[in-house]
Amino acid sequence: MKELFPVTVKSNNEIAENAFLLKFRRNFTFTAGQVISITLLKNEESRLYSIASGEKHEEIWILYTIKTDGVLTPQLAKAKAGDTIYISKPFGNFICKEERAVWIATGTGIAPFASMFFSGQYHNKKLIQGNRSKQGLYFYEHIKEQMSENYLPCCSREPADGCFTGRVTQYIGENGIPDPGIPYYLCGSAEMVVDVRDLLIKKGVPFQNIQAEIFF
């Protein structure tokens, strides 16, 4: 079990239906794409979360959704400014620095890419982000402003201004991929990662060029 450290919650706001952004002061360094473990009580089983804030931000941001029958998230959503939570040191190697690459995310799977984005690593990237509705395209405004035509938002359940209507797999199926020779980074549910990976392989991307982080 990883060693856990107390931190004080700065804020924990619902930023979209069922989705929260937890913030606390950063007192460690990390590499964009890494995760931390979080628990409310030191001896309870912890859960993993990708850091969503930039490497130089003064705060650590954690983007999460409530799993109504889950152990941690319904309780975590009740945490208030001033409360103590416990976190591990950052770890993980879902890391993409300056290389040309494509990022593909659904739901809270945007978190590691948000961290890379807020760390300034977006200049030679394309980002395909999917969710059911536009309000689930977390960080939409920030990303759109900086990445413009390299940002490809997709809404699967309803048409939305500036977004492709359909799943990320449909977007890729209809629009193709920029270059099968560059790395592809996928983050989200197991179902999304498997479907997108199969599609990318069919389109000529070598298996070893596909890196995936699955939020199980």
Which region, judged by CB under 6 A, interacts with ligand FAD, from 67-75, 140-148, 156-164, 166-174? 67-75
111 contributes a contact to ligand FAD by CB under 6 A:
yes
Minimum distance of ligand FAD from residue 215's CB (angstroms): 4
- Tell me if 161 sits within 8 A of 135, measured CB to CB: no
Which region, judged by CB under 6 A, interacts with ligand FAD, from 69-77, 79-87, 114-122, 154-162? 69-77
Positive/negative CA dihedral, 207, 152, 140, 72: negative
72 contributes a contact to ligand FAD by CB under 6 A:
yes
- The DSSP code sequence of 19-62 is EEEEEEE--S---TT-EEEEESSTTSPPEEEEB-S-TT-SEEEE
63 contributes a contact to ligand FAD by CB under 6 A:
yes
Which region, judged by CB under 6 A, interacts with ligand FAD, from 68-76, 116-124, 129-137, 191-199? 68-76
- The amino acid present at 28, given as its one-letter code, is F
The three-class DSSP label of residue 92 is coil
Helix or strand (DSSP H, E) at 87: strand 84-87
Q: Looking up tokens 């059911």, which residue turns up?
A: 132
Looking at beta carbons only, is 47 or 144 nearer to ligand FAD? Answer: 47
Give, rounded to a whole angstrom, the gap between the first and last alpha carbons of the chain: 18
Contacts of 81 (CB under 8 A, 6+ apart): 9, 10, 11, 12
Looking at beta carbons only, is 114 or 128 nearer to ligand FAD? Answer: 114
Enumerate residues 124-153 that contact ligand FAD by CB under 6 A. Answer: none
Looking at beta carbons only, is 42 or 203 nearer to ligand FAD? Answer: 42
Interface with ligand FAD (CB under 6 A), residue from 61, 64, 103, 122? 64
**Residues forming the site for ligand FAD (CB under 6 A):** 35, 47-50, 63-65, 67, 69-73, 108, 111, 213, 215-216
